[in-house]
Structure 1
Amino acid sequence: MSERLKGKVAIVTGASGGIGRAIVAELLSESCTVVGINQSEDPSNIGYHEFIADVTNRTRIEEVVDEVIKKFGRIDILINNAGVTKDTLFYRMSYEDWDYVINVNLTGAFNLTKACIRELVKNEGVIINISSVVGLEGNIGQANYSASKSGLIGFTKSLAKEFGRKNVRVIAIAPGFIETPMTERLSEELKSKALERIALRRFGKPEEVAKLVKFLIIDGTYITGQVIVIDGGLEL
């Protein structure tokens, strides 16, 4: 086990999900103190400090961030990873489907960042927003999800410009098809069609995204305001 992040404190939203759990494991492997924010309790917690909160609930998020600072004394890294889908063709998309996805995926990232930003500035921290390739390219039946992930990219680029002078780095990662519970719900036909469009002919692993996150935090010290695509050569 390395100790390159020893003494650092990271917050990861959606810590119990496929990508979130892999990110937590990578940060723990570097002796980072990891705080995971989940909407419900994670029965297979792998060693992080869990807080239960809805990222859309600003009052609760502020309470959690205050508790983290009181308990650990600092926040150095924020990973906005919490995300949901409500896929359907636009004609069928309800207002509730739109609001739900935008509020969790985009407004949730705003809420966490707003609550953490003073600590991140104080500690010259890093913010990594987990976007998606559909935030760059769009996708049929995902107008709400694509809009939320595209919004995260604009959010990332704006904050990178605003806080670069404070030595806070802000980066977006845009994964393609990754082996998570979200992609497991796809039909075999859709999976097969997706594989035909991926140059490497396989879905990515959550650990591959997590290793990219770790690289950007530890070694990518001159990278900010960028969108890093990790999609195996996906043609959309």
Structure 2
Amino acid sequence: MKQVCVITGGGSGMGLATAKVLGKDNYILIVGRTQKKLENAVAELACEGIEAEYFVCDVADRDSVNELVAKATSLGNIFTVIHAAGLSPNMGNAKALLQVNAIGTINIHEAFYEVMEEGSSIIDVSSMSGHMVPSLIIPKKLYRLSRIDKDLFLRKMLNRIKILPGKLKAEVAYAVSKNFVIWYSKTDAVKFGNKGMRVLSVSPGFFETPMGELEKKRTDAYIKNSAIKRMGHVEEIANLLSFCVSDKASYLTGTDILCDGGCIASG
């Protein structure tokens, strides 16, 4: 059977770059919400001799994720899931950001846990922003609701964000949702480990991607004061993600890897 690598958010940017690396040894299933973008990505991969197909999926919709899982398992054994799908503050309101970034991650974990086997892994793409949320406004006590009642979790999270001024709502929702991804990955490690699987997150800084371009004006000051004074290249994060899923990283789980060119370290 084929060894399948599922990449959400695989139509462009980090996801597509990672497909080009992992596609050398795996069958690629790229996932996203925009069919035309996915079609173009598959064509680009084909030009490099990489076998791939696409699946249109909204990760915030559990039924849609269940359909994705059925498709992936029909192709072969799932080797890894690179969960790179997400929205930035310029791409949606607070509710949309939490639904895609937080609920989407829960859906991916829950659905793929049921079908993945020993030796496989899930790598969640979080963000440097998840490390920048002031501890006073991180609603970590609410995070636990994500495993009890997802609807209640979402409502409570939105209620916390509603008290903020309008222009801050999306920014804070994004940062909190990415902080949640880091927490959720870490706290799922034992559950996945009991089946011989690994789960961890990677938190990129500013990279040359379509999403990164939307944030460029806001990020210039951070880059100027970072340790490596430039944006990251997508190949750099793709190589990191590819290493994380490889046998060379078989002892790596339950943690987050910050890959931000030293932005956080620079203060």
TM-score tier, shorter chain, comes to: 0.7 to 0.9
- Equivalent residue for 1:148? 177
* Paired residue total: 220
- Equivalent residue for 1:118? 114
How far apart, in 2, do the equivalents of 1:99 and 1:191 lie?
23
Q: 1:66 aligns with which of 46, 65, 70?
A: 70
Q: 2:229 aligns with which of 201, 208, 220?
A: 201
2:13 maps to 1:18: yes
Deviation string, structure 1 residues 93-130 (Cα, Å, up to 9, x no partner): xxx8221001111111111221111222x243111000
Q: 2:194 aligns with which of 160, 165, 168?
A: 165
Q: 2:85 aligns with which of 82, 85, 101?
A: 82
How far apart, in 2, do the equivalents of 1:186 and 1:153 lie?
21
Would you tell me which structure has more helix in proportion to its own residues? 2
- Equivalent residue for 2:96? 100
How far apart, in 2, do the equivalents of 1:187 and 1:19 lie?
16
Q: Which amino acid aligns with 2:32?
A: N
Contact 2:200 / 2:253 at 8 angstroms: preserved in 1? Answer: yes
Q: Please report the TM-score for the alignment, with normalisation by the length of structure 1.
A: 0.86
Contact 1:78 / 1:113 at 8 angstroms: preserved in 2? Answer: no
- Equivalent residue for 2:154? none
- Equivalent residue for 2:56? 52
Q: Please report the TM-score for the alignment, with normalisation by the length of structure 2.
A: 0.77
State, as a whole percentage, how many aligned pairs show the same letter.
28
Q: Which moved more, 1:143-152 or 1:73-82?
A: 73-82
Shift in CA distance, 223/187, structure 1 to aligned 2, threshold 3 Å = closer
Q: Which amino acid aligns with 2:87?
A: V
Gaps of at least 5 residues in structure 1 are 1-5, 89-95
User: Structure 1 residue 83: deviation in Å?
Assistant: 0.8
Contact 2:207 / 2:231 at 8 angstroms: preserved in 1? Answer: yes
Gaps of at least 5 residues in structure 2 are 47-51, 135-166
RMSD over aligned Cα, in angstroms?
2.1
User: Structure 1 residue 191: deviation in Å?
Assistant: 4.3
How far apart, in 1, do the equivalents of 2:252 and 2:223 lie?
30
Q: Which amino acid aligns with 1:98?
A: A
Contact 1:75 / 1:123 at 8 angstroms: preserved in 2? Answer: no
Shift in CA distance, 9/191, structure 1 to aligned 2, threshold 3 Å = same
- Equivalent residue for 1:40? 34
User: Structure 1 residue 87: deviation in Å?
Assistant: 5.0
User: Structure 1 residue 193: deviation in Å?
Assistant: 1.4
Contact 1:126 / 1:168 at 8 angstroms: preserved in 2? Answer: yes
Shift in CA distance, 162/191, structure 1 to aligned 2, threshold 3 Å = closer
